[in-house]
């Protein structure tokens, strides 16, 4: 991997960088759409590429079950299997193992779980996670970490953090001896829950291993913790993480989360939210999400967003026809998915442009004024951005919404 | 080639004057819109050819870029009834010269849009039609659609082609002589209604933006399964109009003059033939294989219990074809009408039927519904005409759910190749599954241009840069993981394979017409007409649906099942 920071925000910790991987260049900060099962819901890889997406995510846990490694091996890796010629990232499979399998127990050796096929006890070790990811062949692969919910408290959090460090060593060793270091890049995952001391210890240990890792992910968040805690952990990590490594905040996808994380120095994020919410009929716009299932859209002949460059909006696809078909026809889901992926890309792209132009604080203010102007700014965003020198409330009389912020039309339909 | 038409509307020319009233024929449909310029070329469709079916106004599973990039999609048929959920129907609010095209995202230069009130593939039992209305189906219940409303909707949304309302009963078949007499009288009156010139006030509201709009009208040939009724209806089209009827349509002397083509819907015919057959076999047993709603509808209600009727609905049940009985019915309708107009058949179930209808009737256009439906259940079509020599009986496609495709990295059809493949003996399937290509352009979102990334600027090339075909193994995976992309790819492929079938039919008819009968016979013997592969796929599809259903939001799932002909939107 080649990673160069090409511009920095003069006020916040935001930066623009160029990440060169085996399948091309991805400009950071970027949002990665999730292709869990080797397809972005309903789309073809050619469509995704035409949207300007250069990096997507596959889930190791799922691909390991189906199609399975033998198929991927014969296909020549996941890129070829799914016809995706740009960059690809896989997770370690650990998170899904814990969240999707009831019987997972963590031992020092690895994660012990019941095989979904045979029910037999099966072990996923750090070494195995890495070699599975080698077979999949993604440009960025993740260490196996000991995942605990961000709401977990007590000694388990510390134990998981320490073990994640030990597992990182095993992942590095496995990766080093694989001979795949030229084409695949291993990321560490910083753990430590919501406890600043544990986070610090983890950061310290993992930064020591920087020669063995190409980048750092911030894990153990987005599990229902208070947003005000969330951003503080992110900031704590980005403050410490080395400048010359990309930073990846896992499971982040709401637009406000993205811009705040970018301001705190995050380079990459992924989430199923924009593609999932599309299937429920929610289109994301710079003025807040639109729930196209609501009957107020039934006669509205305007596109989702007149100034949006996505295929759905440039074609003039009306809210009315989307309303007519949403949740009835897959084609409506495809149309909104195309739009939402472009929306996410725009949020990040405008951010990059603003950073390069030295106008990122203005971008933040404009973004919040447009996105939350009507409903009020989430308090945690205001706090988070203050911590990096941007006062969102300067020259505005916007309301402040305590807690996680505004409840959009999508909240009950498709919260993450 | 026919010379370019000067008047707007549908122009059909037979390339080879048919030696007989019935039998295979080659033709061209050229459609010209008012004010058509070179920017908006004529839509030209060689026949025999296909029309693409839609559900709720979209080609199921295809985004707009996909339906445009599928060359085989030219004539698109829109059932209008789902739009009657709102009053006024939302497409009527769209303005412009081609509102229906605009509303649904079809390209006037590429797509010919025809419109019918009802979904032509829906054989559900319905409340009876009335003297002045057709019972139509929308998600919000059964609605009554009057000929006057239909006419106003047609002039508002301006489809290229419209099917006149027809009184086709979907109550309990078979039908009495009295019912059929009523049916042909109403169908006649409703055809007359749509052919009427607009009044001056109507013109000023409906034709504000396109004063020259005039729908091209197709008539559904009424009379159900009764030879005398069919003959009577066809004859009525040729009878000189007089009195008040003649007053309404001064520009024509008899109705056929205002008609641009003849259409035949097979679903009601099959249902009726099937019911008659069952009655004659066992007068005691009710028709069992027919799709039917949960309860007998009360004709006075305007809203059926949608959920109940839809949960009973099984759009997959194949109605016995009865094709040998259908052929003479179609011929009866056509025996005195001009041979110069296109003949359209909707809801064929197999290519075998298509060949028979071409052979013995001389049908020109067929809907692609069965091939599109095959995509819903994971079948990739793989057949050619003429059939390959010296192989055993073949399936028309592959049930890609089957485990034998787990490691099959070949393209979707063995009889075709992708554009990048080098097996030059095979024809290319131009669909985006077999011949995908690198997008010629992409979006940029800020500081991701080549000047920043340092990547080579994509050359502006007029020839596509093809990529390897999507494989059966990939589609197998997508189907088993319930990924919607599987269906998008399969729809594009299957419509393209069907299009290739028609183009081979035309080639044979123009180059070696003498071998037609023998090749039809050979095809019918070579490919499995029972389409067992579709039945198997349907079983696999249900298994995967059920397996997933366990962990899903049952209510969301049930809600979706109502509305969609295709597979449901994934809502996990
Ligand atoms: Zn858009
Ligand atoms: Zn194909």
For residue range B343-361, what is the model confidence (pLDDT) as tens digits? Answer: 999 999 999 999 999 999 9
B7 burial via Cβ count (<10 Å: 0-12, 13-18, 19+): exposed
Q: Is the pLDDT of residue B552 over 60?
A: no
Q: Is the pLDDT of residue B135 over 90?
A: yes
Confidence of residue B561 (pLDDT cuts 50, 70, 90): very low
Q: Higher-confidence residue: B541 or B255? A: B255
A chain contacts of residue B86, beta-carbon cutoff 8 Å: 298-299
What residues are paired with A113 via a beta bridge?
Answer: A122
According to the model, what pLDDT value does residue A274 have?
96
Q: Higher-confidence residue: A113 or B414? A: B414
Ligand nearest to the CA of A317: 1
**Contact criterion met (CB < 8 Å) for B488 and A43:** yes
Token pair 């985004």 in the structure block, residue: B63
Confidence of residue B279 (pLDDT cuts 50, 70, 90): confident
Confidence of residue B423 (pLDDT cuts 50, 70, 90): confident
B chain contacts of residue A276, beta-carbon cutoff 8 Å: 572
**Contact criterion met (CB < 8 Å) for A279 and B570:** yes
Token pair 């599809």 in the structure block, residue: B541
User: Searching chain A, which residue's CA lies closest to the CA of residue B447?
Assistant: A353
Output the domain CATH number for residue A383.
Answer: 3.20.20.105
Confidence of residue B312 (pLDDT cuts 50, 70, 90): very low
How large is the average pLDDT for residues A151-156? 91
Return the SS3 of B28: strand
Half-sphere exposure of A115 (CA within 13 A, CB side): 10
Share of chain B above pLDDT 90, in %: 73
Q: Give helix B485-511 / helix B472-480 axis angle, nearest 10°.
A: 140
3-state SS of A23-91? CEEEEECEEEEECCCCCCCCCCHHHHHHCCCCEEEECHHHHHHCCCHHHHHHHCCHHHHHCCCCEEEEC
ipTM of the complex: 0.96
> What is the whole-number distance in angstroms between the Cα of residue A343 and the centre of ligand 1?
7
A chain contacts of residue B471, beta-carbon cutoff 8 Å: 75, 81
**Contact criterion met (CB < 8 Å) for B467 and A317:** no
According to the model, what pLDDT value does residue B318 have?
62
Nearest chain A Cα distance for residue B481, angstroms: 7
Q: Is the pLDDT of residue B529 over 60?
A: yes
According to the model, what pLDDT value does residue A255 have?
97
pLDDT digits (tens, 9 = 90+) for A11-44: 999 999 999 999 999 999 999 999 999 999 999 9
Residue ranges and CATH numbers for the domains of chain B are 9-278+322-369 (3.20.20.105), 372-437+464-561 (no CATH)
Q: Supply φ then ψ for residue B70, to 5 degrees.
A: -95, 100
A chain contacts of residue B59, beta-carbon cutoff 8 Å: 331
How large is the average pLDDT for residues A3-17? 98
Q: Is the pLDDT of residue A120 over 80?
A: yes
Nearest chain A Cα distance for residue B567, angstroms: 8
According to the model, what pLDDT value does residue A390 have?
98
Ligand nearest to the CA of A302: 1
How large is the average pLDDT for residues A376-395? 96
According to the model, what pLDDT value does residue A396 have?
87
How large is the average pLDDT for residues A126-149? 96
Q: Give helix B485-511 / helix B351-360 axis angle, nearest 10°.
A: 30
**Contact criterion met (CB < 8 Å) for B566 and A353:** no
> What is the whole-number distance in angstroms between the Cα of residue B493 and the centre of ligand 1?
27
Confidence of residue A117 (pLDDT cuts 50, 70, 90): confident
Ligand nearest to the CA of B493: 2
Q: Does A296 touch chain B (CB under 8 A)?
A: no
According to the model, what pLDDT value does residue B372 have?
96
- List the alpha helices (DSSP H) in B313-410: 323-334, 351-360, 369-376
Q: Which of these is catalytic: A91, A139, A146, A305? A: A91
* All residues at 6 or more sequence positions from B217 whose CB lies less than 8 Å from its CB, including other chains: B161, B162, B163, B164, B191, B194, B195, B258, B259, B260
3-state SS of B137-182? EECCEEEEECHHHHHHHHHHHCCCEEECCCCCCCCCCCCCHHHHHH
Q: Is the pLDDT of residue A409 over 70?
A: no
User: Searching chain A, which residue's CA lies closest to the CA of residue B444?
Assistant: A52
Question: Rounded to whole angstroms, what are the CA distances from B550 to B266, B481, B485, B545, B572?
Answer: 37, 14, 22, 9, 11
CB A236 within 8 A of CB A361: no
B481 burial via Cβ count (<10 Å: 0-12, 13-18, 19+): buried
B chain contacts of residue A82, beta-carbon cutoff 8 Å: 474
> What is the whole-number distance in angstroms between the Cα of residue B430 and the centre of ligand 2?
6
- Tokens standing for A235? 């900031």
**How confident is the prediction for chain B on average, in pLDDT?**
88
User: Searching chain A, which residue's CA lies closest to the CA of residue B570?
Assistant: A279
How large is the average pLDDT for residues A348-371? 98
Q: How far apart are the first and last CA of chain B?
A: 53
User: Searching chain B, which residue's CA lies closest to the CA of residue A331?
Assistant: B61
A220 labelled binding-site residue: yes
Q: Which of A396-405, B59-68, B194-203 is least confident?
A: A396-405
Confidence of residue B420 (pLDDT cuts 50, 70, 90): very high
- Is residue A91 part of the annotated active site? The answer reads yes
Question: Rounded to whole angstroms, what are the CA distances from A369 to A373, A378, B545?
Answer: 4, 12, 44
Closest by Cβ to A331, choosing from B63, B432, B470: B63
pLDDT digits (tens, 9 = 90+) for B9-58: 899 999 877 668 999 999 999 998 876 555 556 899 999 999 999 999 99
According to the model, what pLDDT value does residue B317 have?
52
Those residues whose beta carbon sits under 5 angstroms from the ion ligand 1 are A 308, 310, 312-313, 339
Half-sphere exposure of B517 (CA within 13 A, CB side): 3
Nearest chain B Cα distance for residue A124, angstroms: 22
**Contact criterion met (CB < 8 Å) for B473 and A75:** yes
Q: Is the pLDDT of residue A203 over 50?
A: yes
According to the model, what pLDDT value does residue B19 have?
67
Confidence of residue A94 (pLDDT cuts 50, 70, 90): confident
Ligand nearest to the CA of B498: 2
**Contact criterion met (CB < 8 Å) for A24 and B409:** no
Q: Higher-confidence residue: A81 or A412? A: A81
According to the model, what pLDDT value does residue B553 have?
39
Question: What CA–CA distance (Å, rounded) separates B29 from B48?
Answer: 10
Q: Is the pLDDT of residue B112 over 80?
A: yes
Q: Is the pLDDT of residue B3 over 60?
A: no
A chain contacts of residue B401, beta-carbon cutoff 8 Å: none
Laid out side by side, the sheet with A185-190 consists of: A30-33, A268-271, A247-249, A215-218, A185-190, A140-142, A87-90, A55-58
Closest by Cβ to B489, choosing from A7, A18, A44: A44
Question: Rounded to whole angstroms, what are the CA distances from A37 to A65, A272, B161, B326?
Answer: 10, 12, 42, 46
> What is the whole-number distance in angstroms between the Cα of residue B258 and the centre of ligand 2?
39
**Contact criterion met (CB < 8 Å) for A334 and B468:** no
Confidence of residue B565 (pLDDT cuts 50, 70, 90): very low
According to the model, what pLDDT value does residue B36 have?
59
Give the residue among B497, B563, B491 at the shortest CA–CA distance from B57. B563
> What is the whole-number distance in angstroms between the Cα of residue A316 and the centre of ligand 1?
9
According to the model, what pLDDT value does residue B37 have?
57
Q: Is the pLDDT of residue A250 over 70?
A: yes
Share of chain A above pLDDT 90, in %: 86
Q: Does A82 touch chain B (CB under 8 A)?
A: yes
How large is the average pLDDT for residues A378-388? 97
How large is the average pLDDT for residues A357-375? 95
Structural domains in chain A (count): 1
User: Searching chain B, which residue's CA lies closest to the CA of residue A318?
Assistant: B103
- Is residue A270 part of the annotated active site? The answer reads yes
**How confident is the prediction for chain A on average, in pLDDT?**
94
A310 labelled binding-site residue: yes
Q: Which of these is catalytic: A139, A267, A270, A305? A: A270
Nearest chain B Cα distance for residue A201, angstroms: 36
Closest by Cβ to B58, choosing from A39, A71, A329: A329
According to the model, what pLDDT value does residue A223 have?
86
B chain contacts of residue A25, beta-carbon cutoff 8 Å: 453-455
Domain containing A352 equals 1-416
According to the model, what pLDDT value does residue B254 have?
97
How large is the average pLDDT for residues A150-178? 95
**Contact criterion met (CB < 8 Å) for B452 and A27:** yes
User: Searching chain B, which residue's CA lies closest to the CA of residue A345?
Assistant: B445
Confidence of residue B445 (pLDDT cuts 50, 70, 90): very high
Ligand nearest to the CA of B416: 2
The gap from C-alpha B310 to its chain's centroid, in whole angstroms, comes to 21
Closest by Cβ to A52, choosing from B60, B437, B443: B443
Which letter does DSSP use for residue B403 in this model? G
Closest by Cβ to A331, choosing from B58, B437, B556: B58
Q: What H or E segment, with its residue span, contains residue A261?
A: helix A255-263
Which letter does DSSP use for residue B296 in this model? P
According to the model, what pLDDT value does residue B183 have?
95
Question: Rounded to whole angstroms, what are the CA distances from A306 to A303, A339, B108?
Answer: 6, 12, 22
User: Searching chain A, which residue's CA lies closest to the CA of residue B99?
Assistant: A301
According to the model, what pLDDT value does residue A415 have?
33
**Contact criterion met (CB < 8 Å) for B452 and A328:** no
Return the SS3 of A275: helix
Task: Tell me the residue length of chain B.
Answer: 572
Confidence of residue B282 (pLDDT cuts 50, 70, 90): low
**Contact criterion met (CB < 8 Å) for A46 and B437:** yes
- Tokens standing for A324? 């007519």
Q: Is the pLDDT of residue A64 over 90?
A: yes
Q: Which of B20-29, B69-78, B299-308 is least confident?
A: B299-308
A chain contacts of residue B569, beta-carbon cutoff 8 Å: 279, 327-330, 332-333
Q: Does A297 touch chain B (CB under 8 A)?
A: no
Nearest chain B Cα distance for residue A155, angstroms: 33
């Amino acid at each position: 991997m080649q990673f160069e920071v090409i511009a920095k925000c003069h006020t916040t910790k935001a930066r623009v960088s160029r990440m060169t991987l085996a399948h091309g260049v991805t400009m950071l900060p970027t949002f990665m759409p999730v292709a869990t099962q080797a397809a972005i819901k309903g789309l073809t890889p050619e469509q995704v590429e035409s949207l300007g997406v250069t990096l997507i995510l596959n889930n190791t846990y799922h691909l390991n079950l189906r199609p399975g490694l033998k198929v991927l091996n014969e296909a020549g890796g996941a890129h070829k299997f799914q016809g995706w010629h740009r960059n690809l990232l896989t997770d370690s499979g650990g998170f899904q193992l814990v969240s999707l399998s009831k019987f997972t127990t963590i031992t020092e050796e690895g994660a012990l779980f019941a095989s979904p096929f045979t029910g037999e006890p099966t072990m996923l070790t750090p070494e195995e996670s890495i070699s599975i990811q080698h077979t999949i062949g993604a440009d960025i692969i993740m260490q196996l970490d000991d995942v605990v919910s961000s709401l977990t408290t007590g000694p388990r959090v510390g134990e998981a953090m320490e073990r994640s460090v030990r597992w990182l060593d095993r992942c590095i060793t496995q990766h080093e001896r694989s001979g795949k270091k030229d084409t695949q890049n291993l990321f560490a995952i910083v753990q430590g829950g919501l406890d600043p001391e544990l986070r610090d210890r983890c950061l310290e240990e993992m930064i020591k291993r920087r020669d063995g890792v190409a980048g750092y992910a911030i894990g153990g968040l987005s599990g229902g913790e208070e947003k005000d805690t969330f951003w503080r952990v992110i900031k704590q990590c980005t403050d410490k993480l080395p400048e010359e490594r990309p930073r990846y905040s896992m499971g982040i996808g709401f637009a406000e989360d993205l811009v705040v994380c970018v301001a705190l120095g995050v380079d990459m994020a992924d989430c199923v939210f924009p593609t999932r919410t599309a299937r429920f009929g929610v289109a994301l716009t710079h003025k807040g999400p639109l729930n196209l299932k609501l009957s107020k859209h039934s006669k509205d002949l305007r596109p989702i967003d007149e100034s949006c460059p996505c295929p759905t909006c440039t074609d003039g696809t009306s809210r009315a026809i989307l309303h007519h078909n949403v949740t009835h026809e897959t084609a409506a889901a495809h149309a909104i998915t195309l739009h939402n992926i472009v929306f996410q890309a725009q949020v990040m792209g405008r951010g990059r442009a603003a950073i390069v132009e030295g106008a990122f604080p203005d971008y933040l203010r404009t973004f919040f004024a447009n996105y939350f102007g009507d409903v009020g700014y989430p308090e945690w965003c205001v706090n988070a951005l203050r911590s990096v020198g941007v006062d969102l409330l300067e020259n505005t009389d916007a309301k402040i919404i305590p807690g996680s912020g505004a409840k959009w039309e999508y909240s009950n339909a498709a919260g993450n | 080639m026919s010379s370019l038409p000067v008047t707007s509307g549908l122009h059909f020319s037979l390339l080879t004057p048919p030696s007989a009233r019935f039998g295979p024929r080659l033709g061209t449909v050229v459609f010209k819109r008012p004010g058509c310029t070179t920017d908006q070329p004529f839509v030209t469709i060689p026949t025999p050819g296909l029309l693409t079916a839609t559900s709720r106004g979209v080609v199921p599973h295809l985004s707009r870029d996909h339906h445009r990039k599928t060359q085989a999609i030219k004539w698109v048929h829109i059932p209008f009834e789902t739009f009657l959920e709102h009053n006024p129907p939302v497409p009527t609010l769209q303005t412009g010269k081609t509102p229906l095209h605009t509303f649904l995202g079809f390209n006037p230069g590429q797509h010919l849009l025809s419109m019918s009130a009802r979904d032509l593939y829906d054989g559900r039992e319905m409340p009876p039609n009335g003297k002045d209305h057709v019972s139509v189906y929308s998600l919000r219940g059964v609605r009554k659609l009057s000929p006057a409303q239909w006419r106003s909707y047609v002039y508002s949304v301006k489809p290229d082609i419209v099917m006149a309302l027809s009184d086709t009963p979907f109550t309990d078949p078979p039908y009495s002589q009295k019912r059929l007499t009523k049916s042909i009288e109403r169908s006649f009156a409703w055809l007359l209604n749509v052919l009427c010139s607009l009044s001056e006030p109507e013109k000023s509201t409906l034709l504000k933006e396109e004063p020259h709009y005039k729908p091209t009208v197709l008539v559904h040939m009424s009379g159900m399964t009764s030879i005398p009724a069919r003959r009577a209806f066809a004859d009525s089209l040729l009878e000189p109009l007089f009195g008040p009827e003649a007053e309404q349509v001064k520009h024509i002397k008899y109705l056929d003059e205002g008609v641009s083509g003849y259409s035949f819907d097979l679903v009601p015919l099959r249902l009726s033939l099937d019911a008659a057959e069952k009655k004659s076999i066992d007068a005691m047993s009710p028709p069992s294989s027919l799709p039917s709603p949960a309860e007998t509808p009360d004709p006075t209600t305007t809203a059926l219990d949608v959920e109940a009727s839809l949960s009973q609905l099984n759009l997959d049940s194949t109605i016995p074809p009865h094709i040998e009985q259908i052929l003479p019915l179609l011929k009866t309708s056509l025996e005195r009408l001009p041979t110069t107009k296109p003949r359209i058949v909707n809801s064929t179930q197999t290519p075998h039927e298509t060949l028979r209808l071409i052979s013995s009737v001389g049908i020109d256009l067929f809907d692609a519904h069965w091939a599109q439906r095959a995509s819903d259940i994971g079948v990739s079509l793989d057949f050619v005409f003429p059939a390959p020599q010296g192989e055993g009986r073949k399936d028309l496609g592959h049930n890609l759910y089957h485990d034998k495709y787990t490691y099959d990295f070949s393209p979707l059809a063995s009889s075709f190749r992708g554009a990048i493949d080098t097996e030059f003996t095979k024809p290319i399937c131009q669909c985006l599954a077999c011949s995908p290509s690198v997008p010629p352009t992409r979006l940029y979102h800020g500081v991701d241009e080549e000047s920043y990334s340092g990547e080579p600027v994509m050359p502006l090339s007029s020839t596509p840069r093809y990529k390897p075909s999507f494989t059966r193994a990939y589609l197998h995976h997508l189907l088993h993981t319930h990924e919607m992309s599987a269906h998008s790819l399969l729809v594009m492929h299957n419509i393209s394979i069907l299009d290739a079938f028609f183009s081979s039919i035309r080639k044979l008819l123009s180059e070696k017409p003498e071998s037609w009968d023998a090749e039809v016979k050979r095809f019918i013997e070579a490919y499995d007409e029972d389409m067992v592969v579709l039945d198997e796929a349907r079983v696999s599809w249900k298994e995967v649906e059920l397996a997933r259903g366990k962990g899903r939001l049952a209510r969301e799932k049930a809600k979706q099942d109502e509305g969609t002909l295709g597979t449901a939107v994934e809502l996990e």
